[in-house]
Amino acid sequence: MSQDSSEGKTEWTHEAVVRRLAGEMYRSALWAALGTVAVGVILWTVLAGVPGLVAALIGGAIACLSSAATLLLMHRTAAMPLQVIMVAAFAGFMGKLILLFAVMLLLRQFPVLHTNALALTMAATILVATAMEVRASKRSRSQIVIPTPGNT
């Protein structure tokens, strides 16, 4: 199955569709996640001062990196069967949640950091990024059925 594009013909394979979807999800989540981090940083700086600022930056950075890692995982598994891609995406989401708890447990040892600022900024960023990924997935033009040569 081919589709005309501005550069000529593009062959749409399962791998190309999944990679395109991962790119659309990344672009959709990037600015929303960074905006959430900015709001968290401003809010926690006002509420808790420098410890809140530092903790919100750490939480936001960890959340943004984990969201990007999930989409990178999806991009890297694009050539694999659909079941593997779905398991990888679910594992990425579960990894975010596990990371949230692990970071909170590890960083509680540093009383200088404001734990609420870190946890709430990180949780909000993960939720917003995930919501934007889902929104991009639902709106994506990439979700098309690619027939296999034997089933056409």
Tell me the pLDDT tens digit for each residue of 83-121.
887 888 788 878 878 887 888 788 878 888 888 999 899
What are the structural domain ranges in the chain?
Answer: 13-137
pLDDT digits over 20-75, tens only? 888 888 888 989 999 999 999 999 999 999 999 999 999 999 999 988 888 888 88
Rg (CA), the chain: 19
Asked whether 71 and 26 are in contact (CB, 8 A), the reply is yes
Q: Which 3 state secondary structure label does DSSP give 8?
A: strand
Q: Residue with structure tokens 């672009």?
A: 27
Q: Supply the pTM of this predicted model.
A: 0.77
Q: Which two tokens stand for residue 131?
A: 């919501």
